[in-house]
Structure 1
């Protein structure tokens, strides 16, 4: 395993929820990353992020790690969930919230 793959693997396996994104949650640098940040904020789960714009090796390495060509990429308990479209579709169907609950990650209840 390369150093980059090991760093990615460590981030995926040591965080319950991690989002590889362009920018930061406070300043997303693409609309797709922004949408996933909004969804995660809405469901209220704690999550970590990796800004792929800060490290070109991570930016390319995450695509190879997941065999998925686009960013953002969401991982839950070490499992690759998908990018923006998949995350949004799961959220709209209630499947994302169910996934978090199934994995033991508390979701904020809608009031």
Structure 2
């Protein structure tokens, strides 16, 4: 595992809910990241850790390899990759996201 993959792994496993996004929760820098934050707020997340990939080019590339997922944002709950904003929306609408967050 490369250094950047190890850093990502540590972040994912040491925080219950992690969102790798463009920008911050207060200032999302893309529509999809903004939508992801809104979905998580609507789902009642209080212990969200965000990581701004625009501040770290290594992580910005490395996270795509880590999950084998080409786009950002990426949500992780309990160390498991959940998906991007479209999947988050579908899960929120079906109640699956709230269940995953409550677990």
* TM-score, structure 2 as length reference: 0.96
| Structural mapping, 1:32-111, within 5 Å | 32-45=32-45, 46-101=47-102, 103=103
| Unaligned stretches of 5+ residues in structure 2 | none
* TM-score, structure 1 as length reference: 0.90
Question: SS at the partner of 1:91?
Answer: helix
Greater shift in the superposed pair: 36-45 or 7-16: 36-45
How many residues are treated as equivalent by the alignment? 102
Name segments (4+ residues, structure 1) moved above 6 Å: none
Greater Rg over alpha carbons, structure: 1
Counterpart CA distance in 2 for 1:27 and 1:93 is: 27
Instruction: Using the TM superposition, give the Cα deviation of residue 21 of structure 1 relative to its aligned residue in structure 2, in angstroms.
Output: 0.2
Greater shift in the superposed pair: 37-46 or 6-15: 37-46
RMSD: 0.7
Instruction: Using the TM superposition, give the Cα deviation of residue 27 of structure 1 relative to its aligned residue in structure 2, in angstroms.
Output: 0.3
Counterpart CA distance in 2 for 1:3 and 1:65 is: 12
Alignment-derived partner of residue 106 in structure 1 = none
Instruction: Using the TM superposition, give the Cα deviation of residue 74 of structure 1 relative to its aligned residue in structure 2, in angstroms.
Output: 0.1
